Amino acid sequence: MKQRMETSLIHAGVRDGYANKKGAVNVPMYLSSTFHQESIDEFGEYDYARSGNPTRDALEKAVAELEGGVRAHAFSSGIAAVSAALMLLSQGDHIVMTEDVYGGTYRFVTKVLPRFGITHTFVDFTDLAAVEAAITPTTKLLYMETPSNPTLGITDIRGVVTLAKQHHCLTFLDNTFMTPLHQRPLELGVDVVIHSATKFLSGHSDIIAGLTVTADEKLGQDLYFIQNSFGNILGVQDSFTLLQNIKTTDVRFSRSAESAQKIAEFLAANPLVEQVYYPGLESHLGYDIHRSQCTSAGAVLSFRLPSYKAAKALVEAMKIPVFAVSLGGVESILSYPAKMSHAAMEPEERAKRGITDGLLRFSVGLEHVDDLIADFTQALEIAEKA
Ligand SMILES: *Cc1c(COP(=O)(O)O)cnc(C)c1O
């Protein structure tokens, strides 16, 4: 019987296998680095916990099931998952990557990979013709992030997958903003799905974690080899926490996305707000594409105030959200991309991506939406006078 995602979220990876022989409803934490072997010439399923641990295994099985893949791997951070996946490439390979990629991915691709002879071209992935034009004979990978950060740019996943097949490239997609609940890249032909599980999947601003998932057994084995060689595994306690928190992803994400829609509409109607970026607004660039490949507009939005002064006044006046980097937590998180996630980027590059001095990003948490709107209302009045 094919179960709905809400059901799989609760039970995936938990009931079967080594992880749980005693009937506990929660997968035990196997805090063990090594495993006793019964025989000198025949080893058991586990030998050393970098290579495999039953708690991490249960998490990886659950995530593979949720994404509709065959293999998943859990890493010590989202960036560890990104960099491990990029290690599938070799010297001489070229990457075509979305220009509004996550800052840490940008850093790895621009500062680390070139030392190993792996080159890149950044392109606006909302423009398929530009993506195709950037493909060279050595291009091995098209790298997507959709919706992207912080202006929620939408990539046509099917279009990029078609290009990749024509040019014999792999496709990776950072699915952090949508979760497996609402965007199913493997079903659209993407080769490797990547998550910063630090965000919505863990959802409580408690752990740093990353995931990769693939529908291809051979690619899965290659990723396992890299995970074991690199050693950037997710620890047992964090694997346990993530497995627990994943169970409530649907209720958390649905509520936050519902509130995000209301807040986006509220902000769009406020005269001080110059622009709202949210895939749930019909005015958003790529609205139709997003709807054709996702079942939610998500819980992150950005909006532009006229100046740095107005943005500063709003940040200082808001009482409910935390002002911080990161997103996807139960608490709403307000952040200032120009000085936070995109501080390392040159001002011209930031401007090209719409990251102006008045831009703020808001990750909607689980506070009551009317309280959040009331908070925005009073803070916008103050910002208007700034
Ligand atoms: C946060 C984030 C990452 C990096 O994940 P970490 O867990 O912080 O290493 C990668 N991609 C996106 C879209 C993110 O938001």
* 210 close to 226: Cβ distance less than 8 angstroms: no
Q: Above 60 in pLDDT, residue 18? A: no
State the total domains in the chain: 2
Range in 48-52, 102-106, 208-212, 379-383 the model is least confident about: 102-106
Nearest CA to ligand 1 atom 5: 78
- Residue of 75, 79, 326 with the most ligand 1 atoms within 8 Å of its CB, for mutation: 79
Range in 36-45, 199-208, 209-218, 345-354 the model is least confident about: 345-354
- Work out the pLDDT band at 20, boundaries 50, 70, 90: low
Asked whether 317 lines ligand 1 (CB < 6 A), one says no
Asked whether 304 lines ligand 1 (CB < 6 A), one says no
- Work out the pLDDT band at 15, boundaries 50, 70, 90: low
Q: Rounded to the nearest whole angstrom, what is the distance from the C-alpha of residue 196 to the centroid of ligand 1? A: 4
CA pair distance 243, 106, nearest whole angstrom: 29
Q: Above 80 in pLDDT, residue 17? A: no
CA pair distance 200, 257, nearest whole angstrom: 11
Residues 161, 305 share a domain:
no
pLDDT digits (tens, 9 = 90+) for 120-137: 999 999 999 999 999 999
Looking at residue 240, its pLDDT comes to 96
pLDDT digits (tens, 9 = 90+) for 163-173: 999 999 999 99
CA pair distance 298, 147, nearest whole angstrom: 9
Residues 27, 103 share a domain:
yes
Asked whether 199 lines ligand 1 (CB < 6 A), one says yes
Residues 304, 361 share a domain:
yes
Mean pLDDT of 22-39: 91
The domain that holds 279 is classified in CATH as 3.90.1150.10
CA pair distance 169, 159, nearest whole angstrom: 13
Could you tell me whether strands 359-363 and 333-335 are parallel, antiparallel, or unpaired per DSSP bridges?
Answer: antiparallel
Asked whether 76 lines ligand 1 (CB < 6 A), one says no
The domain that holds 68 is classified in CATH as 3.40.640.10
Residues 311, 200 share a domain:
no
Mean pLDDT of 323-347: 91
Final residue before a domain boundary, out of 246, 264, 281: 246
Q: Rounded to the nearest whole angstrom, what is the distance from the C-alpha of residue 195 to the centroid of ligand 1? A: 7
* 300 close to 260: Cβ distance less than 8 angstroms: yes
Q: What phi, psi does 170 have (nearest 5°)?
A: -80, 160
Nearest CA to ligand 1 atom 4: 78
- Work out the pLDDT band at 267, boundaries 50, 70, 90: very high
Residues 160, 17 share a domain:
yes
Four-residue CA torsion sign, 226, 232, 237, 242: negative
Q: Rounded to the nearest whole angstrom, what is the distance from the C-alpha of residue 289 to the centroid of ligand 1? A: 23
Q: Which domain holds residue 33?
A: 5-246
Give the global pTM.
0.96
Looking at residue 70, its pLDDT comes to 97
Q: Which residues are catalytic?
A: 50, 102, 174, 199
Query: What's the mean per-residue pLDDT of the chain?
Result: 95
* More confident: 318 or 10: 318
Looking at residue 352, its pLDDT comes to 83
CA pair distance 131, 26, nearest whole angstrom: 45
Residues 39, 169 share a domain:
yes
Final residue before a domain boundary, out of 221, 246, 271: 246
